[in-house]
Amino acid sequence: MENRERIIAYALDLFYLKGYDAVGIQEICSAAGVTKPTLYYYFGSKYGLLETVLKEGLGDLDASLDRVLNMQGSVKESLYALMSVLTDYAGANYKGYLFLMTLYYSPRESETYRAVKPYLQKIHDRTVEIFARASRELGNMNGRQEQFAIGFLGLINHYLLFIGYSAETGIRISEEQKRSLLHQFLHGIYS
* Contact pattern for its own copies over residues 82 through 121, marking x by CB under 8 A: -------------------xx-xxxxxxxxx---------
Q: How many residues bind its own copies (CB under 8 A)?
A: 43
Is residue 186 a contact residue for its own copies (CB under 8 A)?
yes
Cβ pair 50, 21 in contact under 8 A: no
On the 0-12 / 13-18 / 19+ scale of CB atoms within 10 A, 138 is middle
Cα distance between residue 191 and residue 183, in whole Å:
12
Question: Which partner in its own copies, DNA, none is near 143 (CB below 5 to 8 A by kind)?
Answer: none
Nearest to residue 12, comparing CAs of 100, 86, 91, 105? 100
Cβ pair 149, 124 in contact under 8 A: yes
User: Which residues of the chain form contacts with DNA (CB under 7 A)?
Assistant: 2-4, 23-27, 34-38, 40-42, 44-47
Which stretches of the chain bind its own copies, using CB under 8 A? 15-19, 21-22, 101-102, 104-112, 147-148, 150-151, 153-159, 161-162, 165, 180-181, 183-191
